[in-house]
């Protein structure tokens, strides 16, 4: 049994908030307990309550994050509300006299300016740990590929290609994800995950971004308050890094007929590594050993007690944050606010590149 209980509150208990609730239940033997939620939407509250009853966890229910902050019940707050609300909620948490550690869902905020405001405010609160939910880093095949690349087996990384071919955006509470103004745009909203990975594999920061994309297939027959959704459903994005590496994202959201949802390829001067999700397969080989020398591994992480919607990555991100909290920040949260900011900045530059029809520099958006 863990030495002390860490009390969590979840702000926003829609699909992802309830996913956090279930993950934290699987971390109960590590000392995690969810004691409160805040959400104005009655059906979301009821679904979360139903879950917590089945866990025998009594929950205080608030309709607003201010009430939850004032309650003083929690040590850690999970922010899993719609993207456009992250900025206001984070500022209120960080500026509150009582310290609360935070796990904020991606994207950190929908604009670079808002991300920077949060970073500025957080600098004044060294008593608060903030981790950003860029959880793809923890998916076992991705984590294994990171280990191979960082171990030097493929040499200096030159190219990172990420393909996400999947199903369309799901229906969300009040349809917030149908419009760029709420989500930040597809290349911010969901692709911040992949820009974060590219930057991690490249071991460098982005310099400029070129993208081509459109809304070609999905959501064109939907209307909300008289408006048709404006979120793109496919794009190619090229990112150039300051060490000469380049990345490419191939996103398609009408590709249900795919074996894998994500395919990642990292090529260095010595060799190449690949990761496939959800097949959980990793391959790597060298130029010298050629095709016959390519090794195939099955990626697993035996620490994972709940796979959930994201192949165990939500479980591991919570485990990491809990570790950082228990060491009082000596083990800094592995995905920090700067990672959150840069992943959003690349997405914003990519969205603008589509609009302008040219390369957009990171300097322009920063």
The verdict on 60 binding ligand NAD (CB under 6 A) reads: no
Contact between 207 and ligand NAD per CB under 6 A: no
What is the spatial distance between Cα 265 and Cα 161, in angstroms, rounded to a whole number?
5
Q: Is 137 in the site for ligand NAD (CB under 6 A)?
A: no
| 71 contacts ligand NAD (rule: CB under 6 A) | no
CA distance 249 to 201: 13
Joined tokens for residue 143: 């984590």
Q: If binding is defined by CB under 6 A, does position 13 make contact with ligand NAD?
A: yes
- Residue 229 near ligand NAD by CB under 6 A: no
Q: What contacts 289, CB < 8 A, 6 or more positions away?
A: none
Give the angle subtended at the CA of 126 by the CAs of 121 and 127, to the nearest 5°.
110
**Chain residue whose CB lies nearest ligand NAD:** 14
Going across the sheet that includes 234-241, the strands are: 295-298, 281-286, 271-277, 262-268, 157-165, 246-252, 234-241, 206-214, 360-361
Go through the chain and tell me how many residues it has.
366
- Cα 48-49-54 angle, rounded to 5 deg: 100
The correct pick among 30, 73, 85, 283 for binding ligand NAD (CB under 6 A) is 85
**How far from the centroid of its chain's Cα atoms is residue 213's Cα?**
21
- Candidate segments 12-20, 220-228, 246-254, 338-346, binder of ligand NAD by CB under 6 A: 12-20
Minimum Å distance from CB 11 to ligand NAD?
5
What is the three-class DSSP state of 163? strand
Which one, 32 or 103, has the nearer CB to ligand NAD? 103
Q: Does 47 bind ligand NAD (CB under 6 A)?
A: no
What distance in Å separates the CA atoms of residue 120 and residue 132, rounded to the nearest whole number? Answer: 15
- Give the angle subtended at the CA of 354 by the CAs of 348 and 357, to the nearest 5°: 125
Residue of 9, 21, 44, 312 interacting with ligand NAD (CB under 6 A): 44
In the complex with ligand NAD, which residue's Cβ is closer, 135 or 240? 135
Among 23, 52, 80, 262, indicate the residue that binds ligand NAD (CB under 6 A): 80
Interface with ligand NAD by CB under 6 A: which range of 33-41, 151-159, 292-300, 337-345? 33-41
**How far apart, in whole angstroms, are the C-alpha atoms of residue 213 and residue 355?**
9
Q: Exactly one of 105, 196, 233, 301 binds ligand NAD (CB under 6 A); which one?
A: 105
CB of 262 to ligand NAD, least distance (A): 11
Stretch that binds ligand NAD, among 74-82, 140-148, 206-214, 241-249 (CB under 6 A): 74-82
Contact footprint for ligand NAD (CB under 6 A): 11-17, 38-41, 44, 65, 80-83, 85, 105-106, 133, 135, 172-173, 176, 189, 310
């Amino acid at each position: 049994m863990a030495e002390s209980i860490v009390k969590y509150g979840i702000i926003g208990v829609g699909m992802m908030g309830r996913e956090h609730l279930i993950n934290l239940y699987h971390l109960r033997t590590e000392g995690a307990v969810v004691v409160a939620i805040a959400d104005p939407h009655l059906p979301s509250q009821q679904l979360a309550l139903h879950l917590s009853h089945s866990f025998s966890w009594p929950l205080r229910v608030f309709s607003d994050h201010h009430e939850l902050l004032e309650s003083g019940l929690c040590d850690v707050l999970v922010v899993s509300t719609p993207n456009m609300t992250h900025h206001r909620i984070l500022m209120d948490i960080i500026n509150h006299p009582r310290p609360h550690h935070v796990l904020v869902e991606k994207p950190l905020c929908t604009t670079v300016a808002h991300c920077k405001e949060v970073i500025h405010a957080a600098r004044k609160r060294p008593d608060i740990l903030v981790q950003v939910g860029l959880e793809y880093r923890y998916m076992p095949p991705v984590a294994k590929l990171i280990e191979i690349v960082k171990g030097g087996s493929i040499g200096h990384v030159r190219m990172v290609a990420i393909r996400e071919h999947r199903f369309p955006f799901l229906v969300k509470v009040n349809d917030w994800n149908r419009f760029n103004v709420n989500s930040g745009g597809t290349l911010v909203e969901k692709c911040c995950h992949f820009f974060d990975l590219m930057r991690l594999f490249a071991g460098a920061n982005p310099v400029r971004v070129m993208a081509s994309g459109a809304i070609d297939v999905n959501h064109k027959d939907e209307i909300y308050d008289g408006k048709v959704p404006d979120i793109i459903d496919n794009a190619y994005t090229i990112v150039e890094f300051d060490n000469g590496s380049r990345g490419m994202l191939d996103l398609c959201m009408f590709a249900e007929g795919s074996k894998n949802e994500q395919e990642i390829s990292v090529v260095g001067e010595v060799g190449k590594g690949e990761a496939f999700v959800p097949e959980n397969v990793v391959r790597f080989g060298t130029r010298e050993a050629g095709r016959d020398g390519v090794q195939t591994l099955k990626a697993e992480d035996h620490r994972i007690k709940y796979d959930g919607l994201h192949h165990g990555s939500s479980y591991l991100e919570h485990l990491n944050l809990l570790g950082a909290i228990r060491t009082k920040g000596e083990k800094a949260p592995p995905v920090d606010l700067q990672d959150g900011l840069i992943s959003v900045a690349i997405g914003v530059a990519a969205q603008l590149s589509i609009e302008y029809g040219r390369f957009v520099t990171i300097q322009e958006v920063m």
